[in-house]
Amino acid sequence: MTFEINMRCISCKKQAEIKITQAFCSECFLRHYQRRVEKMIKKFKLIHKNDKVLVAVSGGKDSFSCADVLWQLGFDISVLHIDVGVKQCTSPRTKRVVEKFCKERKIPFYFTSFEEFFEIDDINKFFKVAKRPICATCGMLKRALFNKLARENGFTKIATGHCADDIVKYFFKSMLAGDRDSILWLSKLKPLTPSTHKKIVTRIRPLFEMLEVENLAYTKFRNITVAGCVMCSYFQRKDKWTEILREIDKFIPDWKIKIARTLEKIDIQLREKRKQKEGLKECAICGEITNQEICAICNIKRKI
């Protein structure tokens, strides 16, 4: 991505301000970005007229782009921000930034924390007892929270800011892991994960084909203050996967978009389907959907 370049916007021929895959001035970039998301929503019927959409916003560039573009396109959205209780990932400042974003746009703002929502006394103890990587536990809690809060407040869709970079990273990791759970994940890498039970709210990913750098540029040009966590800031991130993906970027700049598009077109299934689905049940303790007698969250809570 280049922010100052000596090129012309391919659309209006004015001085270009950015080049990711094509050179654009900021105005044309924003219009082009919005049009791509709009097309995606139409193509995969992500949002219907009467849908009430809950957008999960962490305060980072991806989720802010998602919320802002859906708002610009005139959909009925609300924003949910969660205090995840992990020091590096949440701060009162992040909450204020998201709240201000909503106030400016008159978007209803929902806020809660894992501790409050799940009635957990000490979230750090919960993370410890869970005995898995903290990001995995956080992800599990977030998905459960999104779903329950959305359902209980009459939302018909949950939107997240997952973009092509996330999708491709999940895709690779799952292809490498190759276990049953990872392969089930592969089949869910789609712009829309439909509800499979009346208690499960349909999830949509309107930025499925957008690049991370495009979201970054979108928030810059829209003057959106981003308050993402320092841990996973785009430019500071240095994990193995980020490096691998960037190496491939050097050879094929738009490869992540291409892989995301292929994933839209294919179905990936476990070959031996026998035990693939045990059937969904309601957790004996909290009533949420699980494939066990007791869901993972209640199970950890019992151990604390």
Q: What is the contact surface with a copy of itself in residues (CB under 8 A)?
A: 174-178, 182-183, 186, 240, 243-244, 247-248, 251-252, 255, 258-259, 261-262, 264-272
What's the token pair of residue 114?
């894992």
DSSP letter (8 states) at residue 22: S
Phi-psi region of 289 (alpha: psi -120 to 50; beta: other; left: phi over 0): beta
Q: Which is nearer to a copy of itself, 73 or 268 (CB)?
A: 268
Q: Which is nearer to a copy of itself, 45 or 93 (CB)?
A: 45
How many Å apart are CA 130 and CA 40, to the nearest integer? 37
- Residue 39: CB minimum distance to a copy of itself, A: 17
Q: Which is nearer to a copy of itself, 225 or 269 (CB)?
A: 269
Q: Which of 141, 55, 147, 160 is nearest to 101 (CA)?
A: 55
Strand partners, 77: 53
What's the token pair of residue 257?
């978009």
What's the token pair of residue 290?
């699980």
User: Is the alpha carbon torsion for 87, 127, 183, 175 positive or negative?
Assistant: positive
- Residue 42: CB minimum distance to a copy of itself, A: 17
- Residue 239: CB minimum distance to a copy of itself, A: 10
- Residue 102: CB minimum distance to a copy of itself, A: 36
Q: Which is nearer to a copy of itself, 176 or 230 (CB)?
A: 176
- Residue 182: CB minimum distance to a copy of itself, A: 8
Q: Which is nearer to a copy of itself, 119 or 272 (CB)?
A: 272
CA torsion 221-218-249-166 (nearest 10°) is 150
Using alpha carbons, list the distances in angstroms from residue 246 to 29, 234, 238: 23, 12, 11
First to last CA, the chain: 47
Q: Which is nearer to a copy of itself, 258 or 303 (CB)?
A: 258
- Residue 2: CB minimum distance to a copy of itself, A: 23
Question: What does R_g of the chain's alpha carbons equal in angstroms?
Answer: 20
Q: Which is nearer to a copy of itself, 99 or 264 (CB)?
A: 264
Q: Which is nearer to a copy of itself, 266 or 304 (CB)?
A: 266
What's the token pair of residue 237?
């991130």
How many Å apart are CA 304 and CA 290, to the nearest integer? 20
How many Å apart are CA 302 and CA 304, to the nearest integer? 6
- Residue 61: CB minimum distance to a copy of itself, A: 26
- Residue 273: CB minimum distance to a copy of itself, A: 9
- CB contact set of 282 (below 8 Å; sequence gap of 6+): 199, 288, 289, 290
